[in-house]
């Protein structure tokens, strides 16, 4: 296990379509985060899981967004009825609860382009 | 909520030191982080500092924290062309997630 992996790396979709992204965290990490990064900005928090429980959701996470982590391992982020404003890099990160610094390790991201 | 601010751009010559600055608003921030992002890549954790520390050194990297002014800096000694990237400051408070700045683009000229 070399780190956090995300799939796909790139996704181009037409407006109105649904898309789903997958994140596989570092295997022993029990915390998983989703962030969104638009051009020229830092990542913005979307949602966070501890094991399979979704503990926090940002106001950025509209009703069209849903995230799951059914077995406390990998996670999926689905966007329904995509809009052009959803175009961004979607980053996943994981960390280990109880680690001294709660440092989060990030995946390479999924770049979404809505046309 | 927490707000993290950074200058947008820094240009240095190879071999010089780079200093990237960051300010944050929430005095209860417990950990402060520096991440590096190269084009098309994810975020790489460089270093972090706990809020009860003033300084942390890690090879070419030195982090200084002024808790009174809520000011954080990252110094890169002997900057190399491979250090060219965007550097993000991030703060961790009681929330589980990080709050990031907008990033500082470091350009290293040969």
Contact B45 A105 (CB under 8 A): yes
Q: What is the mean pLDDT of residues B68-75?
A: 95
Share of chain B above pLDDT 70, in %: 96
Kindly state whether A107 is in contact with chain B, defined as any CB-CB distance less than 8 angstroms. yes
Query: pLDDT at residue B27 above 90?
Result: no
Kindly state whether A49 is in contact with chain B, defined as any CB-CB distance less than 8 angstroms. no
Query: pLDDT at residue B7 above 80?
Result: yes
Q: What is the mean pLDDT of residues B39-53?
A: 88
Contact B43 A106 (CB under 8 A): yes
Do the beta carbons of residue B6 and residue B104 sit within 8 Å? yes
| CA distances from residue B12 to A75, A93, B23, B57, B103 in whole angstroms, order as listed | 41, 31, 21, 21, 16
Residues of chain A with pLDDT under 70: 1, 98-102
> Which residue in A has a C-alpha nearest to residue B5's C-alpha?
A42
**Cα–Cα distance for residue pair A63/B99, rounded to 1 Å:** 22
Contact A56 B96 (CB under 8 A): yes
The β-bridge partners of B37 are B43, B86
With the C-alpha atoms ordered B13, B60, A5, B95, is the resulting torsion angle positive or negative?
A: negative
Q: What is the pLDDT of residue A101?
A: 54
Question: Is pLDDT larger for residue B71 or for residue B96?
Answer: B71
Q: Tell me the per-residue pLDDT of B75-86, one tens digit each, with 9 for 90 and over.
A: 999 999 999 999
Q: Which positions ≥6 away from A111 have C-beta within 8 Å?
A: A9, A10, A11, A88, A89, A90
**Cα–Cα distance for residue pair A30/B41, rounded to 1 Å:** 24
Per-chain mean pLDDT for chain B: 92
In three-state secondary structure terms, B81 is helix
């Amino acid at each position: 296990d070399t780190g956090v992996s995300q799939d796909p790396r790139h996704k181009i979709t037409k407006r109105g379509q649904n898309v789903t992204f997958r994140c596989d965290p570092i295997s022993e990490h029990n915390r998983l985060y989703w962030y969104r990064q638009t051009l020229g900005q830092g990542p913005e928090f979307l949602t966070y899981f501890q094991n399979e429980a979704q503990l926090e959701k940002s106001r950025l996470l509209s009703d069209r967004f849903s995230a799951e982590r059914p077995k406390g391992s990998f996670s999926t982020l689905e966007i329904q009825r995509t809009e052009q404003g959803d175009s961004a890099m979607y980053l996943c990160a994981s960390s280990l609860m109880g680690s001294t610094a709660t440092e989060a390790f990030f995946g390479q991201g999924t770049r979404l382009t809505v046309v | 909520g927490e707000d993290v601010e950074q200058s947008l751009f820094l240009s240095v010559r190879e071999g010089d030191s780079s200093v990237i600055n960051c300010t944050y608003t929430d005095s209860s921030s417990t950990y402060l982080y520096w991440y590096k992002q190269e084009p098309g890549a994810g975020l790489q954790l460089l270093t972090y500092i706990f809020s009860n520390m003033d300084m942390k050194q890690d090879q070419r990297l030195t982090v200084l924290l002024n808790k009174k002014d809520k000011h954080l800096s990252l110094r890169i000694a002997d900057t190399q062309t491979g250090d060219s990237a965007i550097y993000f400051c991030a703060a961790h408070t009681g929330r589980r997630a990080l709050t990031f700045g907008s990033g500082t683009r470091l350009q290293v000229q040969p």
